[in-house]
Amino acid sequence: MIGLAIGLAFGALLLNSAFAIVLYFAIPTVVSIVTGVWTSAQDKLLWVDVNTSSSVLYEDRGLTGQEWAQIATGVLIWIVVPGALGIWRIMRSEIK
């Protein structure tokens, strides 16, 4: 569901489905490359990368408050902000 929401937010923001699909797959790849090369940034990237931070949802244990905060921060960055900007952009566009 998070991936679907990210794709919808990117599509609304960019108003171009092909570019939104490319970004949807390219951004996690770039983040994983940065994480692999720059090992000191791994803890900080958990706050930005929603794919990595939400992977704890698949584990059979309770989540800590910090893990919930990391998921919420990633959702805010990758879903809420692009979605709000996309809705604003759609509302201001000319009807054709």
Instruction: Give me the number of domains the chain comprises.
Output: 1
Q: Which residues of 25-36 are buried (b: 16+ CB within 10 A; e: fewer)?
A: eebbeebeeebe
At residue 31, the pLDDT reads 82
Q: What is the pLDDT along the chain (96 residues), one digit of tens a residue?
A: 888 999 999 999 999 989 999 998 998 888 878 877 887 877 888 888 888 888 888 988 889 999 999 999 999 999 999 999 999 999 998 877
At residue 48, the pLDDT reads 86
At residue 33, the pLDDT reads 84
Domain residue limits at 34: 2-92
Angle between helices 81-92 and 2-14 (to 10 degrees): 40
